[in-house]
Amino acid sequence: MATLLKEASTMQMMRASVLLAVSAVASAYITTPGFLGGRLAQSAAISRASDFNLRLRTTNGAARSARVQSIQMMAAATKKKSVSDLSRKDLEGKKVLIRCDLNVPLDGKKITDDTRIRASVPTIKYLLDNGARVAISSHLGRPKGGPEDKYSLAPCGARLAELLGKGCVVTKDCIGEETSKIVNNLKNGECCLLENVRFYPEEEKNDKAFSKKLAAPFDMYVNDAFGTAHRAHSSTAGVTEFLSPSVAGFLLQKELDYLEGAVSEPKRPFAAIVGGSKVSSKIGVIESLLGKCDKLVIGGGMVFTFLKARGLNVGSSLVEEDKLELAKSLEASAAKRGVKIILPTDVVLADKFAADANTKVASVNDIPAGWMGLDNGPESTKLIQKELSDCKTIIWNGPMGVFEFDKFAAGTNAVAQTLAECTAKGAITIIGGGDSVAAVEKAGLAEKMSHISTGGGASLELLEGQILPGVAALDNASSGAKTVAATGASAKDTNYYKNKNPWDV
């Protein structure tokens, strides 16, 4: 009894602490006089709430549930201002710092996929077309403590200039007098690209002095980098202490509208497809979605932890032995909530983990010793197709198998094709970042989905119900403003996005 009371007390303290953090963020502007004071109070509250995100990830299900509920309260309390709230009168002549995600793959100095650059263009063009003087900031790669030529943003600057149809000089630094001079000399409707912000270790530490230097030449801030919105870095959060307004760009707005809007107010039936190798990496997502979806499709390596928890032999397939009880509890939770869990009925087996492995298809009830499951079988694919056929909202995060090997890509490709067909019938289909995006692109079906998220970790954390520091740091929306993640409407519904796809630049 004493142990139970202690656990209950701990739970109450956790709930109270998170709620205090939520309250602090929501009321920062009200309780602290002055712009800078309000910013500092808000930043501190975001930091405390984010710390609790980290601590509560490893606690029991009830504590995580309390965290999710608290953060949902925060989302409702702190709807954010968007760039669509800013008119030409607000922007003309103003020096705007926009954080984009230009972290693109390179082969030497050649960009091999410019998707992220193209995705940033609509917001940049909106700012330029309304007479702003724009400086773009981003990171590229993981520099080790200082400048590295291979991580220079110069190739991104050249591609931006092509897409924008105007010059885009790349500064030698992201801070300092020379950089400020270039920014100050920009004419209305002109832009530049600041060199890689991660050339300074202070960026990832959200160092206050560095944040102040980065913000120094500017009048306002726009965050359009959803892919880094889950990081409390100087260029994603710290600069907002010194710049007002600080608002969301069209891409960030669109990501939140789709991911938060679809989950909070989905058209039903609502199905979630969660794949990947390990249950442990998707616990938060599964727990969060169990409270919202009607059907949950489990795929990838984590399938075999669930199957073994059901008492089946899984051969040499990947199993997290320490997560068997968790798998049982997740299935029990789904049953209690009336959520239908769909697991494979047959799988493609391999005699080794390799592209040239010998393969065969077997029922999940007859997996022999020495063989491992690396993809869904044809009957499983038919089952998934049937279960998804009537769904109006579908979110997919994680592949069904080892799709990098052609022999084990059929299950993932079939899900991608099914989602494309569902989209054509009017369903909202959202590809929630990471490997599932790569799978859809590899299948050549990206254009047939409602939304492809540009954020890997950010998508995952948002689906888990966590605070995104880069969003929490932005200005709260005034009553009647077009808000981020407020209505669940697509960002395409704003005037600038009407009939415009952010990939079609």
Instruction: Say which of 39, 80, 94, 116 is annotated catalytic.
Output: 116
Of 434, 455, 456, 470, which residue is the catalytic one? 434
The DSSP secondary-structure symbol of 239 reads: G
Helix (H) or strand (E) holding 173: none
Helical H segments across 291-401, by residue range:
303-309, 324-337, 378-388
> Out of 48, 95, 208, 278, which one is annotated catalytic?
278
Catalytic position from the list 457, 488, 492, 500:
457
Distance of alpha carbon 134 from alpha carbon 120, whole angstroms: 13
* 61: annotated active-site residue: no
Which residue from 294, 278, 374, 372 is spatially nearest to 327, judged by alpha carbons? 278
Backbone angles phi, psi at 50, to 5 degrees: -65, -40
Residue 257 has which token pair? 């509208």
Q: How far apart are CA 256 and CA 262, in angstroms?
A: 9
Whose tokens are 């920062």? That residue is: 28
The pair of three-digit structure tokens given for residue 170, joined into one six-digit string: 């790349």
Taking alpha carbons only, the member of 432, 382, 415, 422 closest to residue 267 is 422
Question: Strands, E, within 10-162: which ranges?
Answer: 80-81, 95-99, 106-107, 110-111, 133-137
Task: Give me the numbers of helices (H) and strands (E) for the chain, helices first please.
Answer: 17, 19
Tokens of 488: 């669940």
CA pair distance 260, 252, nearest whole angstrom: 12
Looking up tokens 């009647």 gives: 480
Task: Determine how β-strand 191-193 pairs with β-strand 133-137.
Answer: parallel
Q: How many CB atoms lie within 10 A of CB 7?
A: 13
Classify residue 325 as exposed, middle or buried by CB count within 10 Å of its CB (0-12, 13-18, 19+): exposed
Q: Is 275 a catalytic residue?
A: no
Instruction: Report the largest interatomic distance among the alpha carbons of the chain, rounded to a whole angstrom.
Output: 71
Whole-angstrom distance, CA of residue 272 vs CA of residue 218:
42
Distance of CA 392 to the CA centre of its chain: 22
Residue 116 annotated to the active site = yes
Q: How far is CA 26 from the centre of its chain?
A: 22
Q: How far is CA 301 from the centre of its chain?
A: 22
**Residue length of the chain:** 505
Active site residue 176: no
Matching residue, tokens 């995600």: 101
| Residue numbers annotated as active site | 116, 278, 434, 457
